[in-house]
Each structure stands twice: as structure tokens, then as C-alpha cells.
Amino acid sequence: MVRCRYLITAVFALLLSACASDGELWDPTDYTVKSGDTLYSVAWRYELDPEQFAAWNGMTINSRLKAGDRVHTRKPSGHAATARSRDADIAYADGERGDGWIRAEKGDTLYAISRSTGVTVDELVRLNNLKEPYTIQPGQIIHTRSSSAPAGSTADETAPVTTTSKARPKAQDAPAWPKTVSWHKPASGKIVKRFKRGATDAKGIDIAGTNGAPIVAAADGQVVYSGDGLISYGNLIIIKHNPHFLSAYAYNQKLLVKEGEKVNAGQRIALMGSKDKRGPLLHFEIRKNGKPVDPLKYLPW
């Protein structure tokens, strides 16, 4: 027994040492980014205001997280904040980049590069003379400002960029956020579970229905998360409505919208699924400045 305790203590000490090997003090409230994580999904997990969370880590709201990075989930002290802010603006995969350009990697999209650089999709389309459907190829040079190109680029890569009047993909344009939000019911059905402040399993409401029933956006906004990377939420959609309000739609059978898309109130965004053995339902949440609030104070129920 004594030997086992010694081994456990030794292993724990080694883990702490490894965590602090980058010169920063190990902080148990830091989070290690996993593949598929986004700034919004991590902020949601820790009930943080996304913009405040970004600021704590020296990022902007459009920054991209990189698997393996550690991010602060509470306001850091001086040294940690400075160390993080030096690297945060390059939280774009491990792709090659230079002064005013990026070399795309496999899986990159125009919207992902826009989030990473802070350059709008419209501007990237213009700068690079891109044509619909705006597909990005691995190795392709993407200019992020005019008159920029890396050494050794091809003639095609450095050719003058011309402006095209062709319609841009509106689904990826950043919306002008409204000051107020007009809320609508996200699904039809009976409320079978209500919000309870402080309860880990009642941060929103559960609406019973049928498998495959339509789930709709509760208000106009932009999809900031669409995936299954948040434990206990299943297939999840998070929509941003303005700088203060987010809404979430969990346990979906199928997701119908992708990250970056604009949606209108009442638009179908998913099909209802089930949670465990509780039958078909939608788990719906509203967050104000990162904190869960009672949806029934906003919805016209």
C-alpha cells in the first residue's frame, strides 16, 4: 500500500512538472484544447462570456483554437496573460504564413481563414479573385491584404487581384448585431423540464416532441457552433444573436446548418433527436453574457 501511494505521488509530480514545462505556472483551471473545440464551445462549457474569454487569452472573437494549446478559463495574472497574448494571434493550425498571406492546409475553408485573420470573407474573396463555390485547395496562397505574396510564389499566386461584382456568399458575412432580440419558440411540444438556477442538468428547458420534428432558430443570428464536441449535449447548435445573447439546441438527430451561417427566426436548423432513454426532446438554453438564464422569461410560451 505504501509503495502504491509513493508511485501515485511520483506520477502526479511528473504530470505537474510536464504541465509547467513551457515556463508558465501550472493552473488547474486552464483547459487543454481538443480537436474540434472552438472559442465559443469552450466558453459555453465554462459558462464564460466568449469575448471576455477571448480577451483573457490574448485573442479576438474570430481567433481559432489549436488542439493541444492551454487556454485560461478565468482571468490570468500578469505573466500568464502576457505569455499567451504573444502567441494567440497565430492560433491558426500549424500552417505556413507570412506578412499578409497564408498557405492553406488540408481542410481549410475561407471562413476558417477569415476567423483566424480577422479579414472578412468578402475581402478575402476580393483580394484573391476567388470564384464560387470559393473552395480552398491545400498549398494555395491566400492573400490577407493587397500587394502581399511570399517569396517563391508562382505567377498565378502573385497576379494582380481584380474586384468582381459577383454575389458573395451571404451565409458567411458577419451580421450587424441588433440591440434587442425578438424570441420565438424553438420547437412545438410540452415542456417536460424547467430551468433551475445552479443545477448542472437544468441550465435550460426540455421540450418533448417526436423524432425528426423540426427544430427552428429562436431568433435571427449566426451559427457559431455546429457539432458534437460538447459532452452531454449530443449534436449541438449554438447561435449568436447579439453581443450578449446566445441560444443552444441540443440532442438533435440531424444538424441542418453549419458554423458561420446566418439564420432567421423560425428557420429549420435541426431535426429533433433523443437523449438516452428519455424519448424525443429538445434541450434548449439561452445564455446572457455567458451565463444560463431561464428561457421562459424570454420565450412567448
The larger pLDDT score, comparing residue 283 to residue 82, is at 283
In terms of C-beta density within 10 A (0-12 exposed, 13-18 middle, 19 or more buried), how is residue 276 classed? exposed
What is the rounded distance in angstroms from the CA atom of residue 132 to the CA atom of residue 146? 21
Q: Average pLDDT, stretch 202-231? A: 95
- Of 50-59, 196-205, 266-275, which gets the smallest average pLDDT? 196-205
Is the predicted pLDDT of residue 96 greater than 50, yes or no? Answer: yes
Q: Among 2.70.70.10, 1.10.10.10, 3.40.190.150, 3.30.300.10, what is the CATH number of 191-297?
A: 2.70.70.10
What is the rounded distance in angstroms from the CA atom of residue 69 to the CA atom of residue 30? 10
CATH number belonging to domain 97-172: 3.10.350.10
No. of helices (H) and no. of strands (E), the chain: 7, 16
Summarize pLDDT for 112-133 with one digit per residue, the tens. 787 777 788 888 888 888 887 7
What is the rounded distance in angstroms from the CA atom of residue 177 to the CA atom of residue 246? 12
Summarize pLDDT for 30-67 with one digit per residue, the tens. 899 998 899 999 999 999 999 899 888 888 888 889 88
For residue 75, name the pLDDT band (cuts at 50, 70, 90). confident
Is the predicted pLDDT of residue 251 greater than 80, yes or no? Answer: yes
- Give the start-to-end residue ranges of the domains of the chain: 97-172, 191-297
DSSP β-bridge partners for residue 268: 216
Contact 220, 265 (CB under 8 A): yes
Q: Average pLDDT, stretch 4-32? A: 54
- Of 33-47, 193-207, 221-235, 250-264, which gets the smallest average pLDDT? 193-207
Q: Average pLDDT, stretch 179-187? A: 94
Is the predicted pLDDT of residue 160 greater than 80, yes or no? Answer: no
How confident is the model at residue 255, as a pLDDT?
A: 97
How confident is the model at residue 81, as a pLDDT?
A: 43
- 245-250 and 280-288: which strand pairing? antiparallel
